[in-house]
Amino acid sequence: MDTGYILKGHVLAFTTSPFTEERPEDAARLRGAVAVRDGRIAGTGTFADMRALLPEAETVDHSGKLIMAGFVDAHVHYPQTAVIASWGKRLIDWLNSYSFPEEMRFADRAYADEIAARYLDLTTAHGTTTVCSFCTIHPESVDALFAAAQARGQRVAGGKTCMDRNAPDGLRDTAQSAYDDSEALIARWHGTDRLEYAISPRFSPTSTPEQLEAMGALWAKHPECLMQTHLSEQTDEIAWVKSLFPQARDYLDTYEEFGLLGAKGLYGHAIHLEDRERHRLRDYGAALIHCPTSNTFIGSGLFDMAGLMAEGQRIGLATDTGGGSSFSMLRTLAAAYEIGQLRGTPLHAAQLLWLATQGSATALRMEDKIGNAAAGMEADLVVLDLASTPAIAQRAARAEDIWEAVFPTIMMGDDRAIAEVWIGGRRV
């Protein structure tokens, strides 16, 4: 019998979005303990109340630490784990020099298993409990990720990357094989345990109109699935798209025309959007995924967080491993803050933490399951040590509230700040 656990500390939960509050901190509440039983959060409140709720539960004392929902990384490429932080290329050159050669190795299931396990180990060590990942064109790469996540009881989304042009020999499929492989993977994995499938055309330049049409047909047949791709990451990429699709009104139109614009669509980067694209994305309730360390590392541009949020866009946050330069969502939060500063719209600590949890969960349409420390949610939690290094500790010691205490960890924290991680109600 699971008698449960009571985690004691500063428990952070959101009641609304801090982007809709005049004072961002008013969107959150702090409690003294969180009760966990049978893989879910049984409640939050005072320690005495949680003890009354679960009288036989084991107490885990994290006094002085911040307990919150585990980080949700809404756009990654787990097959690029081994080539992260490769020097000096813009997007197209980076793909050709590093990503594509590495992805060809994932035809080997043993190699895919090795990297999938390594990736989930690395991200868990940084407090990430859910990811949404592109795999490679090889079905084995999807099997490897989902099998590794399943063994850990982890909520993960992912899908076979589909490409039938502008990629090397050995890294292209066809419109038909992309459809058939993806449909077989949906049947095998979607809805099994905590796994969700994401239909994954990489981006318009690497898919023919025939393949995009096939992916749109597959999504129409399986609307329960997510669909992930890339959109308007770099200006030279946009010019390339226009040359390949001269009839399209804009980049988004290359997806919209083929049925690849929808409420469960995830559009990575979305930096250089035109007005029509912004309106259509908002109208559909699609999700834009901000990848700040990738955008600075590859030199893509500055995401318009404030403007897009003011429009009512659905926005998540992501590392974009391995174009992104870190597996850490804390480092990603710091980069998001810095990009906000460069645009003259710095983000509050409450907004940053919301983006990395409830914001990304909402982008993935999983906000009823993960992304918040609230009763009934799946018990994916991270415990942050707010004094994990001498530099952080000396700054946090002067803090007058929890936001001032956590901000040094956001800006300077790394895996040393991750005191504990819980996935599905189990300590990792």
Set out the domains of the chain in order of their start, with CATH numbers.
5-70+372-427 (2.30.40.10), 71-363 (3.20.20.140)
pLDDT of residue 197: 98
Between CA 324 and CA 291 the distance in angstroms is 7
Q: What's the rounded Cα separation, in Å, for the pair 168 and 345?
A: 41
Q: What's the pLDDT band for 99 if we cut at 50, 70, 90?
A: confident
State the pLDDT at residue 11: 98
H/E element, 236: helix 235-244
Res. 399 pLDDT band, cuts 50 70 90: very high
CB 136 within 8 A of CB 83: no
Query: What's residue 85's pLDDT?
Result: 83
Task: Find the farthest-apart pair of alpha carbons in the chain and give their distance in angstroms, rounded.
Answer: 67
pLDDT score, position 95:
79
Q: Which amino acid is residue 77, in one-letter code?
A: H
- Spatial CA neighbour of 161 closest among 196, 203, 201, 131: 201
CA distance 366 to 362: 6
84 touches 322 (CB < 8 A): yes
At residue 259, does pLDDT exceed 90? yes
Buried b (16+ CB within 10 A) or exposed e, 147-178: bbbeebbbbbbbbbbbbbebbeeebbbebebb
Rounded Cα distance between 190 and 182, Å, is 11
- Is pLDDT at 391 greater than 80 in this prediction? yes
What is the average pLDDT value for the chain, to the nearest integer?
A: 96
Is pLDDT of 323 > 90? no
CA 368 from centroid of its chain's CA atoms? 16
Among the residue ranges 180-189, 316-325, 355-364, 367-376, the one predicted with the least confidence is 316-325
Q: Are 44 and 34 in contact (CB under 8 A)?
A: yes
Q: Is the pLDDT of residue 190 over 80?
A: yes
Residue 184: pLDDT above 80?
yes
- pLDDT above 90 covers a percentage of the chain that reads 93
Token pair of 232, please? 């308007």
Q: Tokens 């197209």 map to which residue?
A: 92
To the nearest 10 degrees (0 to 180), the angle between helices 209-221 and 175-189 is: 30
Confidence band of 96 (pLDDT split at 50, 70, 90): confident
* Predicted pLDDT of residue 101: 87
Tokens of 203: 């981006």
- 3-state DSSP call for residue 361? helix
In this predicted model, what pLDDT tens digit does every residue of 130-173 receive, in sequence order? 999 999 999 999 999 999 999 999 999 999 999 999 999 899 99
**234-238, 279-283, 310-314, 321-325: range with lowest mean pLDDT:** 321-325
Closest CA to 318 of 341, 293, 297, 339: 293
| pLDDT band per the 50, 70, 90 thresholds, residue 50 | very high
Name the E strands within 110-190.
128-134, 156-159, 161-162
The β-bridge partners of 134 are 77, 159
Residue showing tokens 């019998």: 1
Report the side by side order of strands in the sheet with 426-427. 40-45, 28-37, 5-14, 58-69, 381-384, 418-423, 426-427
Helices (H), 257-328: 275-284, 292-297, 305-310
With beta carbons less than 8 A apart as the criterion, state whether 139 and 184 touch: yes
pLDDT-based confidence at 98, cuts 50/70/90?
Answer: confident
Residue 100, pLDDT > 90, answer no
| pLDDT reading at 377 higher than 90 | yes
What is the predicted pLDDT for the residue at 322?
86
CA distance readout (Å), 296 to 320, 342, 387: 12, 12, 28
pLDDT, average across residues 241-245: 98
| Residue owning tokens 């094989």 | 177
